[in-house]
Amino acid sequence: MKVSASYRSPWLLVILLVLGGVFGSLVGDVLSGTPALGFLGTARSIGLPVTTLDLDVITLTLGFTVRVNLIGLIGFVLAFLIYRRL
């Protein structure tokens, strides 16, 4: 009996998504310099604003923001497809 258990690390997915988003955003920023493709550089910020919890003994600051444009989203999708093919 042949068992095919392909284990892929979730950290690999995170790394690929970050790289796909970064490269996609860079390409979108470069292409936004041309007049016909200016809409590709329009980015949207998604996330949680910086929040600080001061407990007098310890201060905790939390925040997470992702700035995404259209080509960055395509980079995320391509990174996920690459992950699925591995």
How would residue 31 be classed by pLDDT, with cut points 50, 70 and 90?
A: confident
Rg from Cα positions in the chain: 18
Helix (H, G, I), strand (E, B) or coil at 54: strand
Q: Give CA–CA dist 13/27, Å, rounded.
A: 21
Residue 84, pLDDT > 70, answer yes
Q: Does the pTM of the predicted model rise above 0.85?
A: no
Cα distance between residue 58 and residue 36, in whole Å: 51
What confidence tens digit (pLDDT) does each residue in 41-70 have?
788 888 998 999 999 899 999 999 888 888
Burial label, 31 (beta-carbon count in 10 A; 0-12, 13-18, 19+): middle
